[in-house]
């Protein structure tokens, strides 16, 4: 089983911390972003993202993740990833199965839907009854929850809860692995190339590399 978090750690971050210029740092960020997009939207594979916030773990998400990661028949078919909090605590443990075509199948109380989740990840069509089905507005572009459009809601409370939210700070919550700096950059986090580009275009300002280095070193220490 491929472990997304382990594949995104040391080398790019070490290069980023050692970057001598904004241009060099931007190049490393671009490489991180490309890697993060591959993890968020793996070509030809499904992604089983399990909500691992404290609410999810209290409801059994950690044990569920272990069961998925122990399966060898997912190799080359699906990757298993941690995700942060989507905000729908009553649905925990919550799993988002992203298919290669950009469709997302959300399973609430996922400990009761283990086999349905597996079948959805391994087949071309959904199996069982996911709580909601969403599609990426632009397939392959996944940066925040607003990039998804709910097209089918089998649990009306789940869909209404999500549709009523307007997210700013937590826009990436529930989509990216909080421990993956590559996914964070790909989702245009504060270290993302898009942030630097906007600084240059709107403010005629390039953040000094030392700020970037400080952030990256803090990430390395934390993770």
pLDDT value, residue 1: 46
Q: Mind listing the domains of the chain with CATH numbers?
A: 1-216 (3.40.30.10)
What proportion of the chain, given as a percentage, has pLDDT over 70? 69
Q: Write out pLDDT tens, residues 23-68.
A: 666 777 778 888 999 999 999 999 999 999 999 999 999 999 999 9
Give bridge partners of residue 81 from the DSSP assignment. 49
pLDDT value, residue 85: 85
Q: Write out pLDDT tens, residues 164-198.
A: 667 766 778 888 998 888 888 888 776 555 555 55
E runs forming strands in 76-199:
78-83, 95-98, 103-107, 132-136, 148-153
The average confidence (pLDDT) of the chain is 78
Q: Write out pLDDT tens, residues 196-211.
A: 555 555 555 455 555 5
pTM for this model (two decimals): 0.77
Q: Residue 21: how many CA atoms within 13 Å on its side-chain side?
A: 3
Q: Residue 62: how many CA atoms within 13 Å on its side-chain side?
A: 5
């Amino acid at each position: 089983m491929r472990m997304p978090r382990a594949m995104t750690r040391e080398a790019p971050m070490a290069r980023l911390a050692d970057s001598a210029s904004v241009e060099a740092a931007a190049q490393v960020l671009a490489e991180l972003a490309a890697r993060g997009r591959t993890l968020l939207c793996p070509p030809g594979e499904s992604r089983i993202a399990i909500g691992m916030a404290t609410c999810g773990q209290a409801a059994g998400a950690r044990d569920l993740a272990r069961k998925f990661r122990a399966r060898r028949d997912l190799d080359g078919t699906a990757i298993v990833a941690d995700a942060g909090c989507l905000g729908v605590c009553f649905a925990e443990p919550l799993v988002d199965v992203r298919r290669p075509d950009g469709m997302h199948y959300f399973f609430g109380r996922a400990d009761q839907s283990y086999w349905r989740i597996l079948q959805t990840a391994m087949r071309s069509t959904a199996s069982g009854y996911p709580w909601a089905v969403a599609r990426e507005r632009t397939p392959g572009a996944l940066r925040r929850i607003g990039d998804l459009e709910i097209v089918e809601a089998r649990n009306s409370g789940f869909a209404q809860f999500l549709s009523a939210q307007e997210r700013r700070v937590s826009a990436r919550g529930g989509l990216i692995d909080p421990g993956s700096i590559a996914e964070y950059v790909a989702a245009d986090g504060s270290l993302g190339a898009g942030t630097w580009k906007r600084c240059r275009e709107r403010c005629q300002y390039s953040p000094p590399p030392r700020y970037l280095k400080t952030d990256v070193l803090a990430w390395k220490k934390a993770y």
